[in-house]
Amino acid sequence: MIKVLVNGFGTIGKRVAEAVQKQEDMKLYGISDVSRGPEMETLLSPEGELHKVDIYASNKEGAQKLKQDNIEIEGTLEEHSDEIDIVVDSTPSGVDKLNKENIYQPNNLKAIFQGGAPDDIAEVKFNADANYQQANGENYVKVVSCNTTSLSRTMNTLEGKLRS
């Protein structure tokens, strides 16, 4: 069972967390952020889809902020890094790079970055239809944007048709 932590709980993070929960070979270890947001309140409420999911702070400053916002946390992402198999980073561009440098690399945490991340954040820009094998086993992978995903699927299909 792969233990996944979703770092950044906005629009993308909540979708990733919900998707991870539905996978048979993955366990949503928790979510992390630096502040309380509307997605967190809604999804973690007793009626929410992610009720009882553990919450972590992305960093020490975030831990202080979440505690001030009366959010009960289990600790920081870094404190629990040895219990996590992979982080899906859905934080804003720029924050993702700092997370890689200050948290993921020093703690040997693998990470997947979202399409808005800078291109140099990972060696592999991933699309399952086009380069699954290339991304398999990498420590850092960037999932391409939705537009690029669409284009990759189209080009991969055309390339297959041209070969046959």
pLDDT at 29: 97
Q: Which residue has the tokens 């198999």?
A: 85
Can you list the domains of the chain with their CATH numbers?
Answer: 2-121 (3.40.50.720)
The CB density around residue 123, as the number of other CB atoms within 10 Å, is 12
pLDDT in single tens digits along all 164 residues of the chain:
999 999 999 888 999 999 999 999 999 999 999 998 877 777 778 888 888 899 999 999 999 999 999 899 999 999 999 999 999 999 998 999 999 999 999 999 999 999 888 889 998 887 766 676 777 888 998 987 554 445 555 666 666 666 66
Tokens of 157: 């299909």
Residue 37 is predicted with a pLDDT of 82
The pLDDT score that the predictor gives to residue 16 is 92
Note the pLDDT tens digit of each residue in 27-43: 999 999 999 887 777 77
Cα–Cα distance for residue pair 4/7, rounded to 1 Å: 10
Distance CA 73, CA 75 (A): 5
Q: In one letter, which amino acid is 36?
A: R
Residue 9 vs residues 30, 95, 103, 139: alpha-carbon distances, Å: 11, 13, 17, 22
Q: What is the pLDDT of residue 148?
A: 47
Cα gap 160→143, rounded to integer Å: 22
Tell whether the torsion through CA atoms of 72, 78, 79 and 85 is positive or negative.
positive
Q: Around Cβ 77, how many Cβ atoms within 10 Å?
A: 27
Partnered with residue 125 across adjacent β-strands are 142
Active site members: 146
Task: Provide the whole-model pTM.
Answer: 0.85
Residue bearing tokens 């979510």: 31
